[in-house]
Amino acid sequence: MVETKTTVQPSSAKKEDPRARQREDRARRLKMIKGDRPETVKVFAASEDLQRVLRHPNGVRFRNDINEAVEWPNDSFTARRIADGSVSTEKGAGGQQTSPEDQEKMNPREIAAARKPKEKEEKQQAQPEGDGNKQKPTKPQPPPSAA
């Protein structure tokens, strides 16, 4: 008579997770995108007013001393704050400081524009305007004299 097995033996090898390869591929891609960029950047506040009110969206605030740096993630928010002069990566290099009297008259964008280095403004002014369709201004004619 022929022997037949009626019990199923447990498999010694575990079944492979079908999503494991997808997760590994994604982790590899993210690691390649990240590159050698540091995860955090040490930043200093440009002024005492900004030090009191400015914080990163993840909740990191500045310390009580304006000369102490804080570490913010190296993300687009931090890059925008560095570009507009609200924070800097160098101690005491927050840009031009305007007097408090002037700041009361200015809105936040004007204050940030006042802090930007002058080099950028000079480059923008040096570029000729490309709009060739503009009409040349005409000289006003003097009124006819009554003779």
- Amino acid identity of residue 45, one-letter, is A
Distance of CA 69 to the CA centre of its chain: 17
pTM (2 d.p.): 0.42
Per-residue pLDDT tens over the stretch 40-85: 889 999 888 888 899 999 888 998 888 889 999 888 899 999 999 8
Distance CA 109, CA 59 (A): 23
Per-residue pLDDT tens over the stretch 77-86: 999 999 998 9
Q: Would you put residue 97 in left (φ > 0), alpha (ψ -120 to 50) or beta?
A: beta
Among the listed ranges 3-7, 53-57, 122-126, which one has the minimum average pLDDT value?
122-126
* pLDDT score of 29 more than 70: yes
- Mean pLDDT, the chain, integer: 75
Q: What is the pLDDT of residue 89?
A: 87
Mean pLDDT comparison of 6-10, 18-22, 112-116, highest-scoring range: 18-22
Residue range 124-135: mean pLDDT, rounded: 56
Strand-pair partners of 1: none
Distance CA 42, CA 69 (A): 6
Count of beta carbons in the 10 Å neighbourhood of residue 71: 14
